[in-house]
Amino acid sequence: MTSIRSPQQLGDALRAARKQLGLTQPQLALAAGVGVRFIVDLESGKPTLRLENALRVIDALGGEVQLSGLPSPVANDQREGGNRGA
């Protein structure tokens, strides 16, 4: 698993994955349903891109996003549900 803490690190990781899979930027853009410019910006670490499209690219590369160090949504829902009656 790769630890990502910045847009640049995400871009570097996705570029490496794309190259390892032997894909060009246009091929990845087509597979993810985004424009080539989006892939270029994502790989260069542009910080203001749409999360939805970044997730499409990650999925097209066969990856997934996992969050660590945060409370699980189930624990959050239970805590919120318990406070509603108070």
For the chain, 86 residues long, the average pLDDT of each consecutive 10-residue run is 91 98 98 98 97 98 92 65 50
Predicted pLDDT at 2:
79
The residue segments making up the domain with residue 67 are 7-84
Number of domains in the chain: 1
Show the beta-strand stretches assigned E in the chain: none
Predicted pLDDT at 72:
82
CATH number at residue 33: 1.10.260.40
Q: Which of 48, 38, 40, 44 lies closest to 12 in space, CA to CA?
A: 44
Residue 1 counted as domain residue = no
Contact 76, 67 (CB under 8 A): no
Residue 2 counted as domain residue = no
Predicted pLDDT at 86:
45
What contacts 36, CB < 8 A, 6 or more positions away?
A: 25, 26, 29
